[in-house]
Chains A and B, each alone.
Chain A
């Protein structure tokens, strides 16, 4: 069975500061993928970034980067130069091999303050 743990229920961050959202995972699969999604108050789930378990380099997408530490089973999301529009719920998720669906964490509510 797969498990995702997000230990920060809520975070307050000053605008323009960098933000690190924590995510640890547990799986017995050798091959797996890690995802981060943003969910604003409108409810839509917006894909941010993906990291494969065999990828040697950390994934980056614009202001988003994933700090992947495989030995620690950690996949933290880093948002550089935070903006007011970054305020939202953030979910970490993982997928085993094949067509499996995603297993989600409980999320972190990020609030960016001016």
Chain B
């Protein structure tokens, strides 16, 4: 069965510091991968998705970037965090009929 890992689980970072969140998937090959952000008390917003190594589509212009260096690895980054980057970041894998989420990373920018 497929398993999706995210780390770290929680993170507190000062404004202006860099960010790197990692997501890996086990048990599937060439998955579609997604990054979402959930602000407090809100629904999820799609940030990036990837259909293969090196292929990244951005949905929302922002302070963040994504990379997919390996088939089952998806990384979310920022060079300088803003207060508005705080939230719950969820990685997901899937295709047309299914989408499964990882446990998430709770980021607080102070």
Contacts and interface: CB of A to CB of B under 8 A. Distances in A.
| Interface size grouping (class) on chain B | 20 to 34
Residues of A in contact with B, size category: 20 to 34
Given A43-B104, A43-B106, A50-B98, A101 B90 contact: no
A91 interface: yes
Contact of B59 (A50, A91, A93, A101): A101
Contacts of A33: 96-97
Interface string B66-103: 00000000000000000000001010100111111101
Contacts of A4: 43
Nearest to A107: B43
Interface of A: 4, 33, 35, 37, 43-45, 47, 50, 52, 91, 93, 95, 97-107
Contact of A52 (B51, B88, B95, B97): B97
A46 to B, nearest CB: 8
A101 B45 CA distance: 9
7 contacts: A43-B88, A45-B44, A45-B101, A50-B98, A101-B34, A101-B99, A106-B43
